[in-house]
């Protein structure tokens, strides 16, 4: 028997960073994101070896242990071990024997929520194998707790829910980790036109999102007015983006992205840098009317809204910076798990 699971990565269209505490706890956050056909994958192969073997196939990392209910967290494959430890603690009486293999279609630190999505995929595989009574909200919240509490990793709340639910979602974030996911019924023609007009690039550099997120949290804790005002403006753009998508007013999206990006850069130091600014201006000069970094900032993936057929001029101009376009399609489904006998 083989259990496989996959969950989609996401691009944050508007509101990014407002899902981070303490801002979300004090002011309430809102984000509009959409999942794409890049995935985090998990495979579980049960056995009777009295061993647990962990393999991150895309990173070339392997660890093996005698079967136990708790695996040591030592900085290597801790996401994999963190999920197993929590599943074992909450649902198992005896340890399991298995091989867990994972890989992600995008590099770590890409800004597409790869770490959180991988956690969701692994939970999905265990839930399918063990027939755990977990709904979508349960899985997303468990993934959040494993990352933020069990493993102590800084970050927001949107990625776990995007990966679990899939599609276009307007998400609201409140104190006590309360999250409301509002799936959007965006007409197919608007989805296809957005897909044609939004062009995705990988900057070629990854970044450590926790550093930027820590700076955002510190600014809110210290009641820095400029950062708070900027974050409130970023939140406002998520509502405008929702309205534009549902009404099919796609000509407004480029401006919403542009305004959101200008305010996002004020939320914390390190969100942008000279290379990112050069890339942004190059795209605008070639015909894009807005864009942003996907994720906390500092690197990873960046996307631009290119109306009509300006995408070709933008791709050509960005390619001269030695940055390549990343083909994608929007993924309308979330976490999916299945068994092969």
Report whether pLDDT(232) > 70. Answer: yes
**206 pLDDT tier (thresholds 50, 70, 90):** low
Residue-averaged pLDDT of the chain: 94
Comparing 197 with 251, the larger pLDDT belongs to: 197
Mean pLDDT in residue range 134-163: 96
Quote the DSSP letter at residue 134.
-
Instruction: List strands edge to edge, sheet with 301-305.
Output: 198-202, 301-305, 290-293
Report whether pLDDT(207) > 60. Answer: no
Task: Give me the pLDDT at residue 311, please.
Answer: 97
Q: How many Cβ atoms are within 10 Å of 15's Cβ, its own excluded?
A: 29
pTM more than 0.85 = yes
Structure token pair of residue 207: 């970044």
Residues 58, 159, 176, 177: which is the catalytic one? Answer: 159
Q: Assess whether 19 carries a catalytic annotation.
A: no
Task: Give me the pLDDT at residue 28, please.
Answer: 96
Which residues are paired to 101 by β-bridges? Answer: 43, 55
Q: Return d(Cα 120, Cα 92) in angstroms, integer.
A: 19
**295 pLDDT tier (thresholds 50, 70, 90):** confident
Cβ(293)–Cβ(302) under 8 Å? yes
- Using one digit for the tens of pLDDT, what is the confidence trace for 36-69? 999 999 999 999 999 999 999 999 999 999 999 9
**111 pLDDT tier (thresholds 50, 70, 90):** confident
**209 pLDDT tier (thresholds 50, 70, 90):** low
Dihedral of CA 41/131/80/300: which sign?
Answer: positive
Cβ(271)–Cβ(234) under 8 Å? no
Cβ(302)–Cβ(217) under 8 Å? no
- Using one digit for the tens of pLDDT, what is the confidence trace for 166-195? 999 999 999 998 999 999 999 999 999 999
Task: Give me the pLDDT at residue 219, please.
Answer: 75
Q: Structural domains in the chain?
A: 2-185+331-340 (3.30.230.10), 188-319 (3.30.70.890)
């Amino acid at each position: 028997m083989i259990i496989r699971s996959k969950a989609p990565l996401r691009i944050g269209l508007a509101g990014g960073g407002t899902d981070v505490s303490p801002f979300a706890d004090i002011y309430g956050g809102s984000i509009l994101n959409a999942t794409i056909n890049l995935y985090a994958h998990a495979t579980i192969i049960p056995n009777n070896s009295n061993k647990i073997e962990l393999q991150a196939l895309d990173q070339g990392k392997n660890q093996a242990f005698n079967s136990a209910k708790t695996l040591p967290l030592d900085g290597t494959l801790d996401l994999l071990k963190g999920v197993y430890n929590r599943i074992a603690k909450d649902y198992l009486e005896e340890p399991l024997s298995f091989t867990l293999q994972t890989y992600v279609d995008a590099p770590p630190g890409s800004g597409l929520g790869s770490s959180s999505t991988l956690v969701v995929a692994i939970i999905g595989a265990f839930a399918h194998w063990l027939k755990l009574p977990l709904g979508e909200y349960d899985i997303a919240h468990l993934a959040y707790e494993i990352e933020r509490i069990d493993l102590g990793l800084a970050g927001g709340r949107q990625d776990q829910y995007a990966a679990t639910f899939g599609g276009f979602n307007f998400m609201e974030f409140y104190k006590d980790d309360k999250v409301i996911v509002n799936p959007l019924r965006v007409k197919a023609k608007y989805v296809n036109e957005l897909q044609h007009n939004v062009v995705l690039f990988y900057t070629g550099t990854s970044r450590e999102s926790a550093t930027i997120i820590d700076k955002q949290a510190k600014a809110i804790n210290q009641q820095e007015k400029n950062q708070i005002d900027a974050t409130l403006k970023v939140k406002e753009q998520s509502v405008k983006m929702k309205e534009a998508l549902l009404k099919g007013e796609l000509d407004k999206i480029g401006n919403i992205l542009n305004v959101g990006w200008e305010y996002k850069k004020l939320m914390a130091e390190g969100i942008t840098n000279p290379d990112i600014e050069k890339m942004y201006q190059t795209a605008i000069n070639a015909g894009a009317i807005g864009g942003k970094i996907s994720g906390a900032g500092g690197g990873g993936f960046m996307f631009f809204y290119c109306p009509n057929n300006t995408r070709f001029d933008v791709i050509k101009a960005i390619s001269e910076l030695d940055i390549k376009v990343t083909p994608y399609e929007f993924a309308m489904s979330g976490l999916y798990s299945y068994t092969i006998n």
